[in-house]
Amino acid sequence: MPRLFFATDIHGSDICWKKFLASAAYYEADLLVLGGDLTGKAIVPLVLEDGKARATLLGSAYELEGEGAMLDFEKQVMSRGYYPVRMSVAERDAFLADHALLDSRFRQAVLETLERWLKLAEERLPKGVRCFVCPGNDDPFEVDALFAASGRVEDGEGKALDLGQGFSLYSTGWSNRTPWHTHREEDEDDLAARIARFAPPGLDYSRAIFNFHCPPRASGLDDAPELGEDLSIKNAGQSTVPVGSSAVRAALEDRRPLLGLHGHIHEAKGIARVKKTLAVNPGSLYEQGVLQGALFDLDPKKGIRSYVLTTG
């Protein structure tokens, strides 16, 4: 009986990626699925001057002396999903003056981190465990080539993959439009057409798992803090609105897969029913180094034998 562990939205957190890899042994899972948004949010400069490194993390200033102190700080930065980059004062000033140059260095940090993560997967994943990823809307397209070259981690984007024992996995990391103008987002009609290309209507999806990064609209799995016109959060985050995809919801209602795996909205942890589909968003606490997930025991006859949300 296959056991599947799902997590999502780890946004560059080193510790969450390591926990994700360790979940195979810890939960005795045969299948690991990471739902998208592996990319961190920003670079944290360590500016080298007078034999010291000066840095700022989450509003706190640090003055670091010696290699040991810098390594410890870099580890702290990476656990929170940021990219530590050592640089001179001149390099810092050049980045501040040229957004394109800064963006290029950020993308370099993304790829360097992902290359290291994929090597860890080769070293730490138990034999026989299949591991799937699907880049999300925040992930630049450059990451696709690294997944394609990996011999241990499978990229599920736009594919129907056989999981064995009658189960299949359909994935996309694309979302409907967001205020942030991210890499993989599009209009609802285009998203619906994208889904139809790899999960066409009219087939039997009773043992299918839809790993769609964006949650179905108005499911409770897509409730996000309401934003003002200037993108500031209204009412201290107490006012929420549904921001999920109507195309994703329509796909679940029409195809009625066994299971929907979603993320994208970190605050909307929960479980919902969309027609016959069990839909799950485990949420994300990546900045705290906490890996939230969902564990499923799959039964070829019963479909889902059991499930539980996890925190670790």
Complete domains list, the chain, with CATH = 3-41+123-311 (3.60.21.10), 43-109 (no CATH)
Percent above pLDDT 90 for the chain: 95
Q: Both tokens of residue 184?
A: 């993989």
Indicate the pLDDT class of residue 248, thresholds 50, 70 and 90.
very high
Q: What is the pLDDT of residues 134-164, one digit of tens each?
A: 999 999 999 999 999 999 999 999 999 999 9
Query: Which pLDDT score, from 0 to 100, does residue 232 have?
Result: 80
Query: Which pLDDT score, from 0 to 100, does residue 234 have?
Result: 76
Whether the per-residue pLDDT at 215 is higher than 90: the answer is yes
Chain-centre distance for alpha carbon 60: 27
Q: What average pLDDT score do residues 51-70 get? A: 95
Q: What is the pLDDT of residues 186-195, one digit of tens each?
A: 999 999 999 9
Indicate the pLDDT class of residue 43, thresholds 50, 70 and 90.
very high
Whether the per-residue pLDDT at 228 is higher than 90: the answer is no
Whether the per-residue pLDDT at 230 is higher than 80: the answer is no
Q: What average pLDDT score do residues 286-310 get? A: 97
* CB atoms near residue 3 (< 10 Å): 16
Q: What average pLDDT score do residues 39-51 get? A: 95
Whether the per-residue pLDDT at 292 is higher than 90: the answer is yes
Indicate the pLDDT class of residue 233, thresholds 50, 70 and 90.
confident
Give the mean pLDDT of the chain.
96
- pTM of this structure: 0.96
Q: What average pLDDT score do residues 29-58 get? A: 96
* CB atoms near residue 157 (< 10 Å): 23
Query: Which pLDDT score, from 0 to 100, does residue 237 have?
Result: 65
Q: What average pLDDT score do residues 199-205 get? A: 98
Task: In whole angstroms, give the CA distance from residue 280 to residue 311.
Answer: 14
Task: In whole angstroms, give the CA distance from residue 162 to residue 205.
Answer: 12
Query: Which pLDDT score, from 0 to 100, does residue 236 have?
Result: 63
Q: What average pLDDT score do residues 165-174 get? A: 98
Q: What is the pLDDT of residues 109-143, one digit of tens each?
A: 999 999 999 999 999 999 999 999 999 999 999 99
Indicate the pLDDT class of residue 229, thresholds 50, 70 and 90.
confident
Query: Which pLDDT score, from 0 to 100, does residue 231 have?
Result: 72
Q: Both tokens of residue 279?
A: 């839909």
Q: What average pLDDT score do residues 282-293 get? A: 97
Q: What is the pLDDT of residues 85-106, one digit of tens each?
A: 999 999 999 999 999 999 999 9
Q: What average pLDDT score do residues 251-276 get? A: 98
